[in-house]
Chains A and B, each alone.
Chain A
Amino acid sequence: MLCILYCGKAKAVRGFERGRASVNTGWLQAVNKKEHTSYFRSTMAAAGCVVRSLRLFCRRLQFPQHETRHLRNYWKCGTFALSNSLRQPSLTSAACLHTGKVYCALSPTITVTDEPDVLYQKVEVLVKGHDRAVLDSYEFFTTMAAKELGINISKVEEPKKKIERLTLLKSVHIHKKHRVQYEMRTHYRNFEFLRLTGSTARVFLEYLQRNLPEGVAMEVTKTEIEKVPEHILEPLWNSIPEKEQSSQ
């Protein structure tokens, strides 16, 4: 019984976020809204009774406002400790110690234009960091993401590391023979993606940049393909004799 409740409620919470019903109106209204959408299309009868049982359940529990926000937090974080929370109305947010404001990410608007999309011959991404292990894991992440999205990776290179050394005097006063050396190492990783469209490049680069680890910098070089301008298409020596003939 509890597992069915779990499925039903999960879908209802998802609907609550998507529909963005205001928290003040109450959680129950969101459940009513989702009743008629596509989620329950296939199993209308079963869903109906599930939703009805949920509604009864909600009335019994009467979640106050801040707890629904906790639930939304849980859904966003992906840690959905639903069974426990249903039993105890007072939620202990042990998983999220500091619950800041929940920012509802606005669903991105899809624009359709008639302009042709920019085409890129290649997009080179150079990643720099102090720690080679971090760059290794980021390489694994990037290659996996590109493979899943069907983006063509031509090569993954590791340029040689650069070490910047400073030699300073060890002592505050005199003792010139005793010095201290500090160094800063920069490791590199180069990814090359071939034949991307502008929108793909934009989305993929945003995804990579959002998942950049701290202490790692990225430089992106894009090589665009442009149509050859019309005045260069025909060689000059073809057009000049015609002009001379016309002048003569």
Chain B
Amino acid sequence: MAVSFGGAGLILANHAVAHMSRTLCAVPRARAIHSTAVCCKHQAARIRVGKGDKPVTYEEAHPPHHIAHRKGWLSQHTSNLDRETGAAERTVEDIFIRRFIFGTFHGLLANELVIKRRGNMLVVCALFTQKIPAYKLYFLIGYTETLLSYFYKCPVKMEVQTVKDKVVYKYL
């Protein structure tokens, strides 16, 4: 749109732009013109306020700058401390464990996993909904513990709590 016009030409161009933007509003959002300056908003781990029909848990509702103030840590290990090593390996393990459990207990997770490392042991604390019968849950827990202990060559324990429905903090 960097074309040089005369004075009258500019007014014409403005009208044309306004007309174009009005017509384009009917077109899907992907085709909109960005007419404001660049605003790099924070969008990490945030749920934007909507109509008020979306249920949101306490963990999801608070953005990451509330960690250590209103939120705790989801993954607790010592490798991010001063003069401690192994942060990358622990992070990769954590990602794998989260995806593994999300897939094994599909549709059952009520909240994010909490992964703790005590010495050699890996403790996975999970909150599940009561959608499947208890004996199936026991089997999946045992299966996860054994399989993960073989993967990571360390004792793996799961501390599980079940809840009837997802605990809703607010509606956004």
Listed in ascending order, the chain A residues whose CB lies under 8 Å from chain B are 97-98, 100, 128-131, 162, 164, 170-171, 175, 178, 180, 184-186, 209, 212-217
Contacts and interface: CB of A to CB of B under 8 A. Distances in A.
A171 B40 CA distance: 7
Given A129-B81, A175-B38, A215 B157 contact: no
Interface residues of B, number: 25
Contacts of B118: 212-214
Given A175-B40, A214-B123, 7 more contacts: A100-B157, A128-B81, A129-B81, A171-B40, A214-B77, A215-B77, A216-B78
Contacts of A209: 119
A98 B81 contact: no
B70 interface: no
A93 to B, nearest CB: 10
B89 interface: no
B78 A217 contact: yes
Contact of A98 (B38, B78, B116, B157): B157
Contacts, number: 58
Given A98-B145, A175-B38, A215 B78 contact: yes
Nearest to A98: B141
B110 to A, nearest CB: 15
Contacts of B157: 98, 100
Given A212-B118, A215-B77, A217-B81, A98 B40 contact: no
Contacts of A171: 40
B49 interface: no
Nearest to B75: A215
Closest 10 CB pairs of A and B: A215-B76, A214-B116, A186-B82, A217-B78, A178-B40, A214-B76, A128-B81, A214-B118, A170-B40, A186-B81
Interface of B: 38, 40, 42, 68, 73, 76-78, 80-82, 84, 116-119, 123, 138, 141-142, 145, 157-160
A130 B73 contact: yes
Contacts of B141: 97-98
B142 A98 contact: yes
Contacts of A180: 42
Contact of B138 (A98, A129, A131, A184): A98
A129 B73 CA distance: 12
Contact of A164 (B76, B82, B145): B82
